Each structure stands twice: as structure tokens, then as C-alpha cells.
Amino acid sequence: MSFTTLPKIGMGTFRLKGNDARDAVKSALSLGYRHIDTAQMYDNEAAVGDGITSSGIPRREIFLTTKIWHDKLHASDLINSLQGSLDRLKTDHVDLALIHWPSPGDEVPMEEYLGALKDAQREGLAEHIGISNFTCAQMDEAKRILGDASIFTNQVEVHPFLANRKVVDHARKLGITVTGYMPLAVGKVMEDETLQRIAENHNATPAQIAIAWVASRGIVPIPSSTRPAHQKANLDALEIELSGEDIKAIDALDRGERIADPGFAPDWD
């Protein structure tokens, strides 16, 4: 089966290692997730691969994403590093290969690494290709290099405290789907009174409300959890229908609070 769009929710694996990562992936797949997100930098691709193979779910039914780290962006390194990812993931292709971060300080020209990514796609190592943590200007540049059809997603941080509106709106204008990582703001959503209040009205948890809000914006959330009960709740969050009033109240929580902001990050919008 070939995926033409991203599944509506994914299982993130950032910070999950070893058996935790393997068991979390296996459990997520048994609950009905069909989109698993990992990265070279998470150092868990082998465990994620084990979770997939031991799940009993046919590989063709699973949408698998990995990301190429910024020290592997030279054309000579990129395809080899992706091949290494495939070996660790025990698969012959990923459904989506992303550039994890734009090259810090443009050390490697975008033409070079996006060209190599396109080559990897042509060679069948990745069904789809995309970008992560790209700014509006970088999305424009990527689109110029790759043309219309190629950029499957821009994966960026999105949660109620960082709506990331400028990037989300610009991606939409360019026809690029946005994947939102850290939708639960590493657990901070649980402590927010507005989200607690809305959750009570919906007989839900603040985490579910945060995920429902991300999804209501047409963004694909990829929450991470090791506990089956939380994984199921995150999946069920897609069924929650927020009112216009709920959305307005959550929109007002945006305070530009960025959690993933390493020294090599681009100049954010």
C-alpha cells in the first residue's frame, strides 16, 4: 500500500530508547497507530525497527518516518546515512525521509542536500521526502529547489504555547502539510488551567485537548508516550470536537514558548 497523505496522527519516539522504544512502538501499532516517527539523532532506530517487526503488522501498512541529522548533509554522506537508517530499521525503504534541521549556518548548500535527498527518493530508499524545522524563507527556497510535488511535510514544534502560526500559514500557502512535534509541550499542557477547564467539559484530559486543538488546525500531531493507556487516549483525542469558544481560549495561550531551540537552530520566524 502506498500512502498519498500523512496518517492523521503519529507516534513520536523522541527520548525513547532500547526496550522502551521497542515496546512503545509495538503497543502503539497494536492500538491502531499506523504512523511511526523516529530520527537518526534519537539513537533508537534499531529498537523502533524491532517494535515494527515484532508487532505482526505488515510493513506496507505502516507509515515510517526518519530524519537525517545535520552532520550527514553532504551529498556523499546523506544517502549512506539513510541506508544505515534502513539497515537499523530493518526495512528496504522509509515512507518519509526528512532533513532534520537545515544546515547550520548554511554550511552545506540546500541545493546539495535536497538534491541528494531527491536522489535517495529516486533510488527507492524513501517513498516521500520532506523537511523539518525550516523557516518560511527556507520553505520557499526548498520549494524552489524541489518543485511543487516533492515536499511532503515540514515538521515543526507546535503546541498551545507555541502556535507557530506564521510557519503553519506559510506552509499551507505553499501546499505543504505541517507535522507538529511536541504537541504536549513535554507535559506542560497538563498543568494549564485553561486546558484543564476545557478538558473537564469534554470529559477528557488536557493532553487530549491539546492534541485535538493541533489536529483542528489541519496539523498532524505526533505525541510520544510509552504507556498504552496514554497512547490510546492520544489516539482517541482525534474524536474530540472543540467548540469555536474552546479554540479561541486555546489560541490565547500562545506565548511563543519554544522548547526545541538548539544553538544551531535557524533564525526563527
Active-site annotation, residues? 42
Distance between CA atoms of residues 179 and 156, nearest Å: 6
Are 157 and 258 a contacting pair, CB within 8 Å?
yes
Place of cell 515496546: 23
Walk across the sheet containing 220-221 and list its strands.
11-12, 35-37, 63-68, 94-99, 126-132, 151-157, 177-181, 220-221
CB within 8 Å of 203: residues ≥ 6 apart: none
Closest alpha carbon to 121 in 98, 91, 155: 98
Distance between CA atoms of residues 3 and 62, nearest Å: 9
User: Using a CB cutoff of 8 Å and minimum separation of 24, what contacts does 109-112 make?
Assistant: 110/138, 110/141, 110/142, 110/145, 111/145, 112/73, 112/74, 112/75
Place of cell 518543485: 147
